[in-house]
C-alpha cells in the first residue's frame, strides 16, 4: 500500500466516525509516522508505506476513529509556530489562545528590560513558554495546581531551549508574595453543566482544566480578587475567556483592580476572547 492509497482508506473511516477534519487528521498522522513534510507527502504520495509504519498508522487511525484527539495520538500540538508536547494530563493548545499570547507580546514590547511574567494555570506551558521564546527578555514563571501538567511544561521548556521558573500550587498560592509585570492566564471556564455535552474529543482532556464551576466564572472571581496583590505598578493582566463570558469577566476585573485601562480583544472569528486590565 502506498501513501495515497492509505489516505484514501483512512479518510472515509475518519469521516464516518464523526471526525470533523478527516483529511487534515489523516495527513497529520501520515506526516508524523513517515517523517515527511506536507510538501513531501503531496508530491511523493506513490511511495510505499513500510509494513511497520502501516501497522502504526492503523493503530493511530483506530484511536482517532474512537474520538481520541489527534494531538494526544501524535503527542504534540503546534502553537505560535512552536511545537509543544501534550498528553491526556494537559489541555491541548488551541489557536484561540494565540490571541492572548499576541496581546501579551505587544504589551511586553514596551515593558521594562526584564519584565516578570506569570503564566497562571499554565498546563503545557504554551502561553508562558511562547512568551519566553518570542520575548526572550522576559522572566517567565509557570504555575499550575497539577504536577503532571508542570512536568509536561518542564519537558516543553527543555525541548524549546528556554528558561522559566515552575511553581506548584492553587492559583496565586503557587507564587507566595511575588509580583509580576504581566499575568497571563487561560483558566478553566466551561460551565459545569455543559461538560457532559462537549465534543467527544474534548471529553479526553482533563476535567481539571475545563471545569469553571456552575457558571464558568469561578476562577475569574478568584483571580480578579487576588491579582492586584501580585501586580507591579503599571502591570497588566490578560485572561482568555469563553464565548459570551467577556462582559462578566471584564466587570470582575474592573471591580477588583484599579485599572487605568481595561477592555476586550477579539479572536480571528470575531469572538471576544481576551479580557485585559492595566493598572
Q: Could you tell me the pLDDT band of residue 113, with boundaries at 50, 70 and 90?
A: confident
C-alpha to C-alpha distance for 190 and 217, rounded to whole angstroms: 8
C-alpha to C-alpha distance for 147 and 177, rounded to whole angstroms: 21
Q: Is the pLDDT of residue 62 over 80?
A: yes
For 24-41, how does the pLDDT look when each residue is reduced to its tens digit (9 = 90+)?
A: 999 999 999 999 999 999
Q: Could you tell me which of 186, 19, 196 has the C-alpha nearest to residue 92? A: 186
The CATH number of 77-278 is 3.40.50.150
Q: Could you tell me the pLDDT band of residue 110, with boundaries at 50, 70 and 90?
A: confident
Q: Is the pLDDT of residue 148 over 90?
A: yes
Please report the pLDDT score of residue 265 as a whole number. 98
Please report the pLDDT score of residue 111 as a whole number. 72
Question: Which pTM does this prediction carry?
Answer: 0.94
User: What residues contact residue 153 under an 8 Å CB cut-off, 6+ apart?
Assistant: 90, 122, 123, 124, 125, 128, 129, 142, 144, 164, 166
C-alpha to C-alpha distance for 145 and 178, rounded to whole angstroms: 17
Block residue for cell numbers 517523517? 35
User: What residues contact residue 59 under an 8 Å CB cut-off, 6+ apart?
Assistant: none
Q: What value does the mean pLDDT take over residues 261-275?
A: 97
For 171-205, how does the pLDDT look when each residue is reduced to its tens digit (9 = 90+)?
A: 999 999 999 999 999 999 999 999 999 999 999 99
Q: What value does the mean pLDDT take over residues 98-126?
A: 94
Amino acid at each position: 500500500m502506498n501513501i495515497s492509497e492509505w489516505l484514501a482508506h483512512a479518510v472515509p473511516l475518519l469521516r464516518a466516525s464523526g471526525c470533523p477534519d478527516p483529511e487534515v487528521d489523516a495527513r497529520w498522522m501520515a506526516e508524523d509516522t513517515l517523517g515527511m513534510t506536507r510538501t513531501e507527502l503531496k508530491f511523493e504520495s506513490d511511495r510505499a508505506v513500510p509494513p511497520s509504519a502501516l501497522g502504526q498508522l492503523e493503530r493511530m487511525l483506530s484511536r482517532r476513529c474512537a474520538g481520541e484527539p489527534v494531538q494526544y495520538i501524535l503527542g504534540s500540538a503546534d502553537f505560535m509556530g512552536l511545537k509543544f508536547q501534550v498528553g491526556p494530563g494537559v489541555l491541548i493548545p488551541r489557536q484561540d489562545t494565540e490571541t492572548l499570547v499576541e496581546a501579551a507580546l505587544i504589551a511586553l514590547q514596551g515593558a521594562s528590560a526584564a519584565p516578570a511574567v506569570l503564566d497562571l494555570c499554565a498546563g503545557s506551558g504554551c502561553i508562558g513558554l511562547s512568551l519566553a521564546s518570542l520575548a526572550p527578555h522576559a522572566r517567565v514563571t509557570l504555575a499550575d495546581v497539577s504536577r503532571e501538567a508542570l512536568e509536561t511544561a518542564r519537558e516543553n521548556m527543555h525541548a524549546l531551549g528556554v528558561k522559566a521558573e515552575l511553581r506548584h500550587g492553587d492559583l496565586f498560592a503557587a507564587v507566595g508574595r511575588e509580583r509580576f509585570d504581566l499575568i497571563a492566564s487561560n483558566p478553566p471556564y466551561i460551565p459545569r453543566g455543559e461538560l457532559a455535552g462537549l465534543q467527544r474529543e474534548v471529553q479526553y482532556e482533563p476535567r481539571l482544566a475545563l471545569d469553571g464551576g456552575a457558571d464558568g466564572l469561578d476562577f475569574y472571581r478568584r483571580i480578579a480578587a487576588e491579582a492586584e496583590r501580585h501586580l507591579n505598578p503599571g502591570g497588566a493582566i490578560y485572561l482568555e475567556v469563553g464565548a459570551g463570558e467577556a462582559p462578566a469577566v471584564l466587570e470582575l476585573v474592573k471591580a477588583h483592580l484599579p485599572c487605568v485601562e481595561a477592555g476586550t480583544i477579539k479572536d480571528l472569528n470575531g469572538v471576544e476572547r481576551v479580557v485585559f486590565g492595566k493598572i
